Amino acid sequence: MGGLVIRALLIDMDGVLFHGDQVLPGAAAFLRRVGGVPHCFVTNNPIRSPGQIAEHFDRLSLPVPALDRIVTSAEATLTWLVKQKPGFRFFAIGASTLHETLALQGNADAQNADFVVVGEGAGIDYASISTAINLILKRGAQLICTNPDNTVDASCDGQHCVLPGGGALVAPIAIATGVQPVFVGKPNPLLYQMAIKRLGASISDCVMVGDRPDTDIAGAQALGMHTALVRTGRFASGDRLPAGIMPTWDCTSLTELMAQWTATSALRDVDH
Ligand SMILES: [Mg+2]
């Protein structure tokens, strides 16, 4: 990609910078190198707030980002809901962060919700599924899900484990009602657009760095962004890319990506 100059970056975190409490090789050097380029961290994870994510960076001794440089799927969901209906009423199922985020500009209302919002984390049970189904079928509430991931990699008692993602948790409600949810997170455009807007950047100047071809890369590519796939997450070195997915850079690690960017002068120092 000779001639391309990167003016802004969107960076996924899990599988790119770290796995849980384990920092991935090259992550600290990568963050120091891109420090002068406007960048935003984007995640489909609706459980951690930007403040909690910043604390995680600090614990891992990575450069701590400003809070407005972290965009989560819970925040993107809030933005989307406000746009649909200012002062919206919601019934949320998921971790406490989702409830708190939506309550910033919406009103929790299990009787007359305009939106049933499903996120990740504990909180889903027989009663909440039943409430959601009735709100949708009898009150015409719309079904929203923070992110479409079917599973999430996590650390459970220090061991790798797999947890249900938004796509799995919303499924019982979608099946019972016959209604397809609106998914807000990657690969849908909203999360990217919010982050790009915060950076004051344009799509063509911005590169998305991620570890998942089906979400990180697919969504950015559909928007017309340049993309960098790092094969340090679920998607391993030998795996074949899904049909139609063509990352601008396809690297085994952040270290290799930095080497490629340096070789083509794609990443220029801000003081040049
Ligand atoms: Mg990831």
What does the DSSP assignment read for 131-144? HHHHHHHHH-PEEE
Pairing of strands 39-43, 8-11: parallel
CATH of the domain at 172: 3.40.50.1000
CB 15 within 8 A of CB 27: no
Assigned domain for 262 exists: no
* pLDDT > 80? residue 144: yes
Q: Is the pLDDT of residue 271 over 50?
A: no
DSSP run (H or E) holding 114: none
Has residue 272 got a pLDDT over 50? no
**94, part of any domain:** yes
In a domain, 271, yes or no: no
Q: What is the pLDDT of residues 41-99, one digit of tens each?
A: 999 999 999 999 999 999 999 999 999 999 999 999 999 999 999 999 999 999 999 99
Q: How far is the CA of 233 from the centre of ligand 1 (A)?
A: 7
Asked if residue 187 has a cis previous peptide bond (ω within 30° of 0), the answer is yes
Q: Catalytic: 14?
A: yes
Mean pLDDT of the chain, nearest integer: 93
Residue 227 lies in a domain: yes
Residue 1, in any domain of the structure: no
pLDDT digits (tens, 9 = 90+) for 89-130: 999 999 999 999 999 999 999 999 999 999 999 999 999 999
177 inside domain = yes
Residue 178: which domain range? 44-62+69-201+222-239
Percentage of residues of the chain with pLDDT beyond 90: 85
269 in any annotated domain: no
In a domain, 55, yes or no: yes
Which pTM value belongs to this model?
0.91
Based on the residue annotation, tell me whether 12 is a catalytic residue of this protein: yes
| CA-atom Rg of the chain in angstroms | 19
Residue 157 has pLDDT above 60, yes or no: yes
* C-alpha 90 to ligand 1 mean position (Å): 28
Number of domains in the chain: 1
State the distance from the centre of ligand 1 to the C-alpha of 251, rounded, in angstroms.
14
pLDDT in tens, 194-232: 999 999 999 998 999 999 999 999 999 999 999 999 999
First to last CA, the chain: 20
- Would you call 189 exposed, middle or buried from its count of C-beta atoms within 10 A (0-12, 13-18, 19+)? middle
